[in-house]
């Protein structure tokens, strides 16, 4: 039966303090003895485990509601305290009251005629800010009048109130006992209470000094029975036991008329135990411990700590049927797939209901059991009872299995799972994949989906969730499968794309490779192309023709490649341009986007997989490697580079000389020193660019260059730094500064402003840096590292604030953007009403639409 829910709106919440009267009327029992169980192990009446407070033993019945274990929620009890004690959580408030009210008449220390003036201000502060702020204001106002040291109402002399932490109050040198405190607080008038932002019905200040202590139900502090049969009580019960014991002794001593010193000592002890019962981590108090020395976990810790109710149970969410491990790449699995280790597949299960059609099939899983893949771990009976499949239950289970039973079988190839990498900033951070059970211990994913997850393989871990119902699975498959997420809602371009070798391979293939027909067939077949009808039957094939065999027959595309050449694909034939990062990479060209809009998600995902495999297969056959020799310069080039560096250094020294001679002309708005620095930086940066250029002219056919040109990895600057010159190191846009010691390193003379002394590295990474140069390199390296380490959490928090503020905005059917309560935020989504993921990089090509509609070709 469907539960009947009633929905209501919470109008307001009010916090109150429990009054002694309330505590007593809530209580099901008064606790009078520290004993827990009698000789038979039965809970003692009037003890802390009293059965009126609920039961935690099977077989016992709660005396208050007559329910058994798990049905009864438990009931509160109370202890009558022999002497009042301060509630540690209200010490601050009590302190405020003592400071701001009269010690004899209890009125607030503000003259009657001025009270009205402040009451309004105080209430608004309380409403708009907080009660703390209101109290702060009351204190401020009272200090203004307190100079006289007398009560404005009854003229009684007021002493200075001191708080000796954690809970001892003094008026001048007289110690205020909790009895005195309570008497004082009782005198405070209800009207004055309003000024403190308190309503006398909800809060009376004297309730902050406890005369009775509420005892939580036993269900809140269950004991556990150890293997030895011994009972081990909850920390709260321990603590309450201490309170009850001391309380009893205090009662006895008072009744016996014991000397005041003994009573005072016991009273202090009672205060200590009640305090640590509420909070066992008060700075000035030694925490209460178990006999073993372990600190007791009392009320505050139950709520506040990391393992507490809030952070652990309310804010922290954990789920079954999920897994986490390191990820690694597998270019051979599909874009939509995820590789799951067999070991995991045996723990992650999918519930399948037995019907007349799948009975035989599911029985096989059950027979294989939990240890043999693919088996099953549990069966669920129609009454909802679940049973583990094990060797000794096997016969019984296979016997009783019929239609209507559910079998929790191991994960199989093709099952749907959600795959996620934190931080989940995107909707593409959590996508559905089809499972591929693989050997090994890591999750495998196609390198092309690294980009949407922002994943790499330097130790990244990812999470996997297995949906458990048909609805959840089909929803995940239809809405979240990787192929449905190809187009980014940010700019309408593809968020997936080939990376690294896949790009290099296609670049080389479309640029320069000539293959024989058998070679081409072999290449295509190896990346899963079975229809070779689109491959021209020629002796020698151009790489472009081989690539074109992947494309659909009617696909036409005009674009640009990375070096700016026209890319022309006419009727599925690549006639000019290269396939590099600008076309195959993520969030770059329109090629993938157009394929998607013309041929749909499934085709595009498939094609992208084939293109990536093709690139890798090309490199596999052609060979592609990089070595130190790739950075060699020809002797004449090396000479040119050296000359160019020498030239620039000479220019730099000339500037220094000019400056020394006082002949350097200051740039407008700059001092001479600033001008010097600017000119130096300019000359030295030129040195790197020039020698880099010279070197790059000579380096023509080279693996590093191919990678840079194709956009696979690295850039021209990296190559120049490795082979020609590393160049000027800069911190905050300036050369390395010499600081207070007037030199960057003790290796240099003071006030040395020559290039080498200020972070200019004239060596290349290949020729090797000298110690000073290496140090400068480390300086900028450290700076970059610190910068990223500090920036990431900052921008993360900025993004979090934005996404939290906007999370419930949504586009309604009338194209307006509205918040959760239906208020309009935008009258047209994005002011133009466009769905960016359906545009070409943010705009609509009207011409193309017209042509598509009237069927004209350009």
Q: Tell me which residues touch Mg ion (CB under 5 A).
A: 456, 458, 460
By CB under 5 A, name the one of 28, 85, 100, 102 that touches Zn ion: 102
Task: Give whichever of 454 and 658 is closer to Mg ion, judged by the CB atom.
Answer: 454
458 binds, among Mg ion, other proteins, Zn ion, none (CB under 5 to 8 A by kind): Mg ion
Binding mask 770-809 for other proteins (x = CB under 8 A): ----------------------------------------
Q: Kindly state the tokens that stand for 311.
A: 């952070």
Question: d(Cα 811, Cα 832) in Å, to the nearest integer?
Answer: 13
388 vs 844, beta carbon nearer other proteins: 844
Sign of CA dihedral 721, 725, 726, 729: negative
Tell the smallest beta-carbon distance from residue 826 to other proteins (Å): 8
- Rounded Cα–Cα distance for residues 350 and 335 (Å): 23
Return d(Cα 783, Cα 781) in angstroms, integer: 5
The binder of 834, among Mg ion, other proteins, Zn ion, none, by C-beta within 5 to 8 A per type, is: other proteins
Q: Which is nearer to Mg ion, 149 or 459 (CB)?
A: 459
How many residues are given for the chain? 858
Shortest Å, Cβ 822 to other proteins: 6
Output the smallest distance, CB 827 to other proteins, in A.
6
- Residue 128 contacts other proteins per CB under 8 A: no
Q: Is the separation of the CB atoms in 372 and 428 below 8 Å?
A: no
Task: Answer whether 691's CB lies under 8 Å from 723's CB.
Answer: no
Q: Which two tokens stand for residue 569?
A: 């694909």
Q: Which of residues 284-323 bind Zn ion (CB under 5 A)?
A: none
Joined together, the tokens standing for residue 165 give 């932490």
CA distance 138 to 345: 65
How would you label 226-264 residue by residue, b for 16+ Cβ within 10 Å and e otherwise? eeeeeeebbbbbbbbbbbbbbbebbbebeeeeeeeeebe
- Smallest gap, in angstroms, from Cβ of residue 828 to other proteins? 7
Least Å distance between CB 491 and other proteins? 12
Q: Pick the closest to residue 327 from 184, 455, 223 (CA basis).
A: 455
CB of 832 to other proteins, least distance (A): 3
CB of 800 to other proteins, least distance (A): 25
- Answer with the entry of Zn ion, Mg ion, other proteins, none that 314 interacts with (C-beta below 5 to 8 A by kind): none
Pick the closer one to Zn ion by CB: 110 or 592.
110
Which partner from the list Zn ion, Mg ion, other proteins, none does 831 bind, CB cut-off 5 to 8 Å by kind?
other proteins
Decide: is 105 part of the binding site for Zn ion (CB under 5 A).
yes
> Whose CA is closest to 303, among 328, 281, 326?
281
Query: Which residue of 647, 664, 834, 840 would you call a contact of other proteins, by CB under 8 A?
Result: 834
| Alpha carbon distance 637, 643 (integer Å) | 10
Identify what 460 binds: Mg ion, other proteins, Zn ion, none; CB under 5 to 8 Å per kind.
Answer: Mg ion
Would you count residue 824 as binding other proteins (CB under 8 A)? Answer: yes
Q: Is-contact 287 239, C-beta < 8 A?
A: no
Token pair in block for residue 367: 């027979």
Distance of CA 736 to the CA centre of its chain: 37
In whole angstroms, what is the distance from residue 301 CA to residue 275 CA? 13
Residue with smaller CB distance to other proteins, 302 or 818: 818
Regarding 823 and contact with other proteins (CB under 8 A), the answer is yes
Nearer to Zn ion, 125 or 188 (CB): 188
| Residue 316 binding: pick among other proteins, Zn ion, Mg ion, none (C-beta 5-8 Å cut-off by kind) | none
Using the rule CB under 8 A, is 814 a contact of other proteins? yes
Binding test (CB under 8 A) with other proteins, winner from 41, 111, 404, 830 = 830
Question: With binding defined as CB under 8 A, does residue 818 bind other proteins?
Answer: yes
- Which of 662, 822 has the CB closer to other proteins? 822
Among 59, 229, 669, 822, binds other proteins (CB under 8 A): 822
Where does this chain touch other proteins (CB under 8 A) — which range of 184-192, 542-550, 627-635, 818-826? Answer: 818-826
Q: What is the 3-state secondary structure (H, E, C) of 416-438?
A: EEEEECCCCCCCCCEEEEEEEEE
Residue 138 vs 523, nearer CB to Zn ion: 138
DSSP notation for 312-328: IIIS----SSEEEEEEE
Gap between the Cα atoms of 572 and 80, Å rounded: 90
Q: How far is the CB of 159 from Zn ion (least distance, A)?
A: 13
Candidate residues 316, 842, 845, 850; the one interacting with other proteins per rule CB under 8 A: 842
Q: Binds 151, which of Mg ion, Zn ion, other proteins, none (CB < 5 to 8 A, cut-off by type)?
A: Zn ion
Three-class SS state of 735: strand
Q: Which two tokens stand for residue 12?
A: 């307001």
Kindly give, in sequence order, each residue whose CB lies less than 8 Å from that of residue 46, ignoring residues fewer than 6 positions away. 29, 30, 31, 32, 33
x-or-dash string of contact with Zn ion, 136-155, rule CB under 5 A: ---------------x-xx-
Pure H helices in 321-465: 342-345, 359-368, 394-400, 450-453
Nearer to other proteins by Cβ, of 286 and 833: the residue is 833
How far is 156 from 168, CA to CA, in rounded Å? 23
Q: Which residues bind other proteins (CB under 8 A)?
A: 814, 816, 818, 822-825, 827-828, 830-834, 842
What does the binding site for Zn ion look like in residue numbers (CB under 5 A)? 102, 105, 151, 153-154, 156
């Amino acid at each position: 039966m469907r539960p009947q829910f009633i929905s209501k709106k919470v109008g307001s919440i009010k916090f109150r303090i429990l009054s002694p009267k309330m505590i007593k009327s809530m209580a099901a029992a008064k606790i009078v003895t520290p004993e827990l169980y009698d000789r038979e192990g039965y809970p003692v009446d009037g003890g802390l485990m009293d059965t009126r407070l609920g039961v935690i033993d099977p077989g016992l019945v709660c005396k208050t509601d007559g329910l058994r274990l798990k049905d009864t929620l438990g009931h509160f009890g109370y202890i009558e305290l022999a002497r009042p004690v301060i509630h540690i959580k209200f010490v601050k408030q009590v302190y405020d009251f003592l400071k701001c009210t009269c010690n004899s008449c209890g009125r607030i220390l503000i003259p009657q005629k001025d009270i009205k003036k402040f009451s309004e201000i105080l209430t608004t502060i309380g409403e708009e800010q907080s009660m703390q702020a209101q109290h702060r204001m009351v204190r401020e106002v009272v200090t203004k009048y307190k100079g006289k040291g007398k009560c404005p109402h009854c003229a009684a002399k007021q002493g200075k109130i001191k708080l000796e932490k954690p809970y001892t109050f003094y008026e001048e040198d007289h110690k205020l006992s909790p009895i005195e405190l309570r008497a004082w607080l009782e005198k405070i008038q209800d009207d004055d209470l309003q000024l403190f932002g308190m309503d006398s019905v909800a809060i009376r200040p004297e309730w902050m000094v406890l005369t009775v202590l509420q005892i939580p139900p036993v269900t809140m502090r269950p004991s556990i029975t150890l293997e030895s049969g011994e009972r081990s009580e909850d920390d709260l019960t321990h603590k309450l036991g201490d309170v009850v014991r001391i309380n009893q002794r205090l009662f006895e001593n008072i009744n016996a008329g014991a000397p005041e010193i003994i009573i005072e000592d016991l009273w202090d002890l009672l205060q200590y135990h009640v305090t640590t019962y509420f909070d066992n981590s008060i700075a000035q108090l030694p925490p209460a411990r178990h006999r073993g020395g372990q600190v007791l976990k009392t009320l505050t810790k139950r709520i506040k700590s990391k393992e507490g109710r809030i952070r652990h149970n309310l804010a922290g969410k954990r789920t079954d049927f999920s897994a986490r491990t390191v990820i690694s790449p597998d270019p051979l699995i599909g874009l939509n797939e995820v590789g799951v280790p067999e070991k995991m597949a045996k723990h992650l299960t999918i519930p399948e209901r037995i019907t007349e059609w799948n009975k035989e099939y599911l029985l096989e899983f059950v027979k294989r059991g939990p240890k043999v893949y693919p088996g099953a771990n549990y069966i669920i009976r129609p009454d909802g009872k679940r049973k583990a499949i094990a060797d000794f239950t096997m016969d019984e289970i296979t016997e009783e299995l019929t239609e209507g039973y559910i079998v929790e079988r191991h994960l199989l190839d093709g099952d749907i799972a959600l795959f996620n990498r934190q931080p989940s900033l995107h909707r593409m951070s959590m996508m559905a994949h089809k499972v591929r059970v693989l050997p090994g211990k890591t999750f495998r994913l196609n390198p092309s989906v690294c980009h949407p997850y922002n994943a790499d393989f330097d130790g990244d871990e990812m999470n996997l969730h297995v949906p458990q119902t048909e609805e959840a699975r089909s929803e995940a498959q239809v809405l979240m499968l990787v192929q449905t997420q190809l187009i980014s809602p940010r700019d309408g371009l593809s968020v997936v794309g080939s990376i690294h070798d896949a790009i290099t391979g296609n670049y080389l293939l479309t640029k320069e490779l000539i293959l024989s027909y058998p070679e081409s067939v072999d290449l295509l077949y190896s990346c899963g192309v079975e229809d070779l009808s689109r491959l021209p039957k020629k002796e020698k094939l151009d790489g472009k023709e081989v690539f074109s065999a992947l494309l659909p027959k009617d696909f036409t595309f005009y674009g640009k490649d990375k070096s700016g050449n026209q890319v022309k694909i006419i009727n599925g034939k690549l006639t000019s341009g290269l396939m590099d990062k600008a076309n195959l990479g993520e969030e770059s060209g329109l090629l993938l986007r157009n394929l998607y809009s013309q041929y749909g998600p499934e085709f595009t995902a498939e094609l992208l997989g084939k293109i990536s495999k093709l690139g890798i297969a090309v490199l596999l056959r052609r060979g592609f490697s990089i070595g130190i020799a790739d950075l060699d310069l020809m002797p004449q080039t090396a000479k040119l580079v050296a000359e160019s560096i020498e030239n620039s250094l000479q220019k730099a020294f000339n500037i220094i000389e000019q400056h020394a001679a006082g002949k350097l002309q200051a740039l407008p708005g700059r001092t001479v020193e600033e001008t010097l620095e600017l000119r130096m930086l300019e000359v030295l940066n030129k040195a790197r660019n020039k020698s880099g250029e010279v070197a790059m002219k000579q380096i023509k056919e080279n693996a590093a260059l191919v990678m840079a040109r194709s956009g696979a990895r690295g850039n021209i600057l990296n190559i120049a730094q490795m082979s020609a010159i590393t160049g000027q190191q800069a911190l905050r846009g300036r050369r390395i500064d010499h600081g207070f010691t007037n030199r960057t390193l003790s290796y240099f003379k003071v006030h040395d402003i020559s290039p080498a002394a200020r972070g200019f590295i004239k060596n290349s990474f290949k020729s090797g840096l000298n110690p000073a140069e290496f140090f400068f390199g480390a300086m900028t390296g450290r700076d970059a590292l610190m910068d990223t380490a500090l920036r990431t959490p900052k921008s993360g928090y900025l993004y979090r604030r934005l996404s939290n503020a906007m999370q419930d905005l949504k586009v309604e059917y009338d194209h307006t953007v509205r918040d959760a309560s239906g208020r309009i935020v935008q009258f047209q989504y994005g002011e133009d009403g466009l769905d960016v993921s359906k545009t070409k990089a943010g705009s609509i090509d009207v011409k193309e639409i017209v042509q598509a509609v009237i069927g004209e070709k350009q």
